[in-house]
Structure 1
């Protein structure tokens, strides 16, 4: 059963998607004493408040997504007999409309799929244009551009891959016709949807979206103010594009007049043109990759975690952090009486994270361009290697967290300097057959490149590449820009299996590089601390990408902050706006159920039956 009012569940297919908006409204060695202070990394998306969520229990199926209208679209598809993959497609199409700041058909996606027998990883990540090179983000002086100088315009637009990847996955795992999956989004685009509080907040805060006349005319009033919360926003251009995609498939986006409009927008930008071509769009191909699965013991129980391999760094980093924790006493640290991670646990977690992020900067890139260390990405997850790395963790902060040498093989690559990463959205689905999707989808920065075409926004995904192609000594960086290459990502769609091989959990989050920490927190909370998904998601956020230790503002007592500082950490309390969505197997009143959780920091809900 769900926690939505019965009268909402009785609405017909054509009207229930709008009723979901009402549902959301109702839910409401010598070490310095303290590390040198460096700038705290920018947060991927602005905060828009906290809306408490109760968590959801369902008996047959469940879908969790970042906006109630999108979640309701997925629920309708599952109720009509659709597969988890079908529901994820319907959710993504609605998110393109109602959460345009985070994802859409102009971006890219990583999708993990479980069909009851096999785990698959579908790569719809954007690619660099054929005309791109390592100097793409260098100015005339040879120095890297400022971030938003690179983002706003056509320069950072990569070849979108979401729709082609979803089409590939649907051909294998779809149950309902492709065209049916677009109906909720088409209807909402045609008839309109109420502007949500989060969309309004981000529109108000954004300094660049108004620079595009098309976007300004759609998102803002004539006086430049964003449309108010509740304003019914219609998008007939997107409705027309979605009808074309429903009828003709991904080809409608990658060839013909829509493709021509995309390329014209990119290449004809008056101040910051890009290099995307019609050939790039026509030639784009999604990939099926081998999932990165590894064993993980939490308490006395063994689990199998499966995540996305490179070009994502997420599964590797999460596996390393949890694996190093498992080699220390910190893994067994319970939550405090206040329901918070202890200071000792946070210290150990932060040190393990710094080591993982050092390896990430050194090694991870598109596997078609960057070779895995020791010839296998699993070398970074080898228990012997992680045991050696964990020995570096002491009672005080390491002065330097070095990259390791997995397999004992030295590399000629240079580490990538720390660089900001932005947006995304996450979708988790379990269908009536027990098949599952964990899908993280993105246009990168909030509102992407701020370029709107035919009712949707284009990505700025190329800024996930290193702006510098090499270090001062000329050593190449694994994640440098190269033609046809996919930028490194932190997206971490994850599936968890128990020791009997049964699906135990699907989850993930948006959040730039902090996706890794948001997802790891939730996994550890459910598997080690025995929390429900909602309880684990509700835990305060924390993490580090190698610099300051970030703690979610207002969530930790001063004594914890001071204790971490005495261990040498530079601690910053900041807003940490995750967008976690997770579903796990559980028991309720003696029967098996699905327990769902949605992040109170955003607008998502879980629905099902």
Structure 2
């Protein structure tokens, strides 16, 4: 009976949203043009029991239906992720990987779940070196099966559901199966991504799905059905992840990755051996809060934590949202990214100084390197305390656009923040059974060593590439008060750190906080988000010695703030997300 009720609810929710019950609220982030004043006046959505924010309205609606039907945050996350795979295929899906941080209200415990892709077992450190011994160009590496890592998204969401689910696994796939068969209107963001994606039309299956027969990209508003994906989800709904990792779907994945250009190394044994993992969250005490997130192989929580830990030496509340605060943020980011490039990688393969990187004394010493009036230029990595010193050389991050973010709270008090990805937009461009495969192997360092000193994030068989994903939970007195995270490649780290400062130090409403223009520095030149305020900030930073320029900084932040019985939700105006609450 419950299953029948849920199925009907999921199918008709789009109509029901026009008659939301008393207390339900929604915000669509496909707004008309706004003035700066109007943007500053925006406020978050409020609710009292349940809330979800994702990057696409259809995904939010699918997850919200689950919450209304008595599902847990884990159940809603599964439903939302499957819908994101369908309607935002360029960003995430079962052909990629994910990190999740989950709060279990009954046990009052925080657990992180690692669904990061892995390198094929046969991969070696020279994986990205050409015949001449030099690294091949990044763009050349992306397209084709060689860039595909063993996918982890399906396995990690199955693990999450096993631990925290309340509704039947099969029920959670029904909204996406129905939508895949009936079709959905292509959003503006997806249409733009299709038109702008290099090499996408070079791959026959992707070309047949995203383009017309005359080669023109399918436009915004066109109805796009995906019966192949519906068939895939029917199998997974009935049998779990086994057909994907050990059965016929997996066999087709391996075959599809054997592309004519850049053929892949992944085998069926690699798929069968894949494991999603529970990991202990990485946490930092920041003023009166505890900021927790995903540890290695993600650098997200460590680097966000380092930025905040360094800035705890400064009174950001008194300084406020000023050019001086931007200067301090940039300098702290440089120091943190210098450590990230030197030390951070998959801790299952590298002796990571995780505790040392967040040691208060070490961060205090790093903070003393900051001149309040003048930039330090390029920062160098520090020497965090560690038991087993191991020498590494540094590598460099590259921004990405193929990622998504969701945050959820259920009526039982459980909460989840999840960052999910296929790496670059449209991943490897290889499509099979209705979904795209990731290009996560390009997140490894292309250069394995310099002068005989290894790079921590070099390719190794079975290793997980370093990530920047930073799904974050903020605790106060042992209870969650904030969930957040963002897509954006290495820029995820400053996006999340800046949003946390705006909400924690400046006490801004979540929507106002994530609407603030971004400032990004990954230990190089500074990027200031394009907009009416960019020129003045660039001038102020230039006076302090920074090399700064305006840039398109396309974050996708999602936020749920828990303030006693009140929930406040926000979704990034830079994308097309939706907050739903009740």
TM bin, normalised by shorter chain, reads over 0.9
Q: 1:558 matched to which residue of 2?
A: 535
Q: 2:11 matched to which residue of 1?
A: 14
User: Do structure 1's residue 406 and structure 2's residue 384 form an aligned pair?
Assistant: yes
Of residues 172, 185, 194 in structure 2, which corresponds to 1:194? 185
Conserved in 1, the CA contact under 8 Å of 2:294 and 2:470?
yes
User: Per the alignment, do residues 204 and 334 of structure 1 end up closer, same or farther by CA in structure 2, a change over 3 Å counting?
Assistant: same
Q: 2:317 matched to which residue of 1?
A: 332
Of residues 460, 464, 469 in structure 2, which corresponds to 1:486? 464
Separation in 2, partners of 1:21, 1:131: 53
Q: 1:354 matched to which residue of 2?
A: 334
User: Per the alignment, do residues 80 and 418 of structure 1 end up closer, same or farther by CA in structure 2, a change over 3 Å counting?
Assistant: closer
User: Per the alignment, do residues 27 and 266 of structure 1 end up closer, same or farther by CA in structure 2, a change over 3 Å counting?
Assistant: closer
Q: 1:57 matched to which residue of 2?
A: 46
Separation in 2, partners of 1:478, 1:107: 23
User: Do structure 1's residue 446 and structure 2's residue 425 form an aligned pair?
Assistant: yes
Task: Tell me the alpha carbon deviations over residues 242-279 of structure 1, each in whole angstroms, 9 at most, x when there is no partner.
Answer: 01010000112112221111101112x11110101000
How far off its partner does 1:19 sit? 7.2
Separation in 2, partners of 1:416, 1:19: 51
Separation in 2, partners of 1:26, 1:573: 23
**Structure 1 runs of 4+ off > 6 angstroms?**
18-26, 49-53
Of residues 289, 297, 301 in structure 2, which corresponds to 1:315? 301
Separation in 2, partners of 1:54, 1:351: 30
> Which has the higher mean CA deviation after the structures are superposed, 540-549 or 392-401?
392-401
Task: Tell me the alpha carbon deviations over residues 464-511 of structure 1, each in whole angstroms, 9 at most, x when there is no partner.
Answer: 00001101x110110000000000000000011112x22101110000
How far off its partner does 1:524 sit? 1.0
Of residues 67, 78, 82 in structure 2, which corresponds to 1:78? 67
- Report the secondary structure of 1:424's partner residue: strand
Q: 1:231 matched to which residue of 2?
A: 222
User: Do structure 1's residue 432 and structure 2's residue 417 form an aligned pair?
Assistant: no
- Which runs of structure 2 are paired with 1:27-176 in the superposition (5 Å)? 28=31, 54-116=43-105, 117-176=108-167
User: Per the alignment, do residues 421 and 603 of structure 1 end up closer, same or farther by CA in structure 2, a change over 3 Å counting?
Assistant: closer
User: Per the alignment, do residues 452 and 17 of structure 1 end up closer, same or farther by CA in structure 2, a change over 3 Å counting?
Assistant: farther
Conserved in 1, the CA contact under 8 Å of 2:111 and 2:280?
yes
Task: Tell me the alpha carbon deviations over residues 358-396 of structure 1, each in whole angstroms, 9 at most, x when there is no partner.
Answer: 0000100000101022xxx12111111111000100021
Separation in 2, partners of 1:12, 1:435: 22
Separation in 1, partners of 2:55, 2:418: 12
Q: 2:566 matched to which residue of 1?
A: 593
Q: 1:540 matched to which residue of 2?
A: 517
How far off its partner does 1:419 sit? 3.8
Q: 1:44 matched to which residue of 2?
A: none
Q: 1:46 matched to which residue of 2?
A: none
User: Do structure 1's residue 457 and structure 2's residue 457 form an aligned pair?
Assistant: no
Task: Tell me the alpha carbon deviations over residues 329-370 of structure 1, each in whole angstroms, 9 at most, x when there is no partner.
Answer: 4x23444xxxxx311111111011000000000100000101
Q: 1:306 matched to which residue of 2?
A: 292
Separation in 2, partners of 1:83, 1:157: 32
Q: 1:33 matched to which residue of 2?
A: none
Task: Tell me the alpha carbon deviations over residues 499-544 of structure 1, each in whole angstroms, 9 at most, x when there is no partner.
Answer: 2x22101110000000001111111111111112111111111111
How far off its partner does 1:21 sit? 11
Conserved in 1, the CA contact under 8 Å of 2:400 and 2:425?
no
Conserved in 2, the CA contact under 8 Å of 1:106 and 1:457?
yes
Conserved in 1, the CA contact under 8 Å of 2:528 and 2:534?
no
- Which runs of structure 2 are paired with 1:226-305 in the superposition (5 Å)? 226-267=217-258, 269-297=259-287, 302-305=288-291
User: Per the alignment, do residues 20 and 192 of structure 1 end up closer, same or farther by CA in structure 2, a change over 3 Å counting?
Assistant: farther
User: Per the alignment, do residues 233 and 119 of structure 1 end up closer, same or farther by CA in structure 2, a change over 3 Å counting?
Assistant: same
- Which runs of structure 2 are paired with 1:198-209 in the superposition (5 Å)? 198-209=189-200
Conserved in 2, the CA contact under 8 Å of 1:355 and 1:403?
yes
Task: Tell me the alpha carbon deviations over residues 179-199 of structure 1, each in whole angstroms, 9 at most, x when there is no partner.
Answer: 111111111101111100110
Task: Tell me the alpha carbon deviations over residues 551-589 of structure 1, each in whole angstroms, 9 at most, x when there is no partner.
Answer: 0011425332112112111101001000000100136xx
User: Per the alignment, do residues 362 and 81 of structure 1 end up closer, same or farther by CA in structure 2, a change over 3 Å counting?
Assistant: same
User: Do structure 1's residue 514 and structure 2's residue 528 form an aligned pair?
Assistant: no
Q: 1:32 matched to which residue of 2?
A: none
Q: 1:470 matched to which residue of 2?
A: 449
Separation in 2, partners of 1:75, 1:555: 36
State the Cα RMSD in Å.
Answer: 1.9
- Report the secondary structure of 2:348's partner residue: coil
How far off its partner does 1:204 sit? 0.9
How far off its partner does 1:411 sit? 3.6
User: Per the alignment, do residues 168 and 193 of structure 1 end up closer, same or farther by CA in structure 2, a change over 3 Å counting?
Assistant: same
**Pairs aligned (count):** 559
Separation in 2, partners of 1:561, 1:182: 48
> Which has the higher mean CA deviation after the structures are superposed, 244-253 or 552-561?
552-561
Of residues 389, 392, 406 in structure 1, which corresponds to 2:369? 392
Q: Which runs of 5+ in 1 are unaligned?
A: 1-10, 29-48, 336-340
Task: Tell me the alpha carbon deviations over residues 216-262 of structure 1, each in whole angstroms, 9 at most, x when there is no partner.
Answer: 11111122222221111100000000010100001121122211111
- Report the secondary structure of 2:554's partner residue: coil
How far off its partner does 1:24 sit? 7.4
> Which has the higher mean CA deviation after the structures are superposed, 168-177 or 49-58?
49-58
- Report the secondary structure of 1:142's partner residue: coil
Conserved in 2, the CA contact under 8 Å of 1:465 and 1:481?
yes
User: Per the alignment, do residues 274 and 557 of structure 1 end up closer, same or farther by CA in structure 2, a change over 3 Å counting?
Assistant: closer
Q: 1:3 matched to which residue of 2?
A: none
User: Per the alignment, do residues 20 and 462 of structure 1 end up closer, same or farther by CA in structure 2, a change over 3 Å counting?
Assistant: farther
Q: 2:23 matched to which residue of 1?
A: none
User: Per the alignment, do residues 20 and 207 of structure 1 end up closer, same or farther by CA in structure 2, a change over 3 Å counting?
Assistant: farther
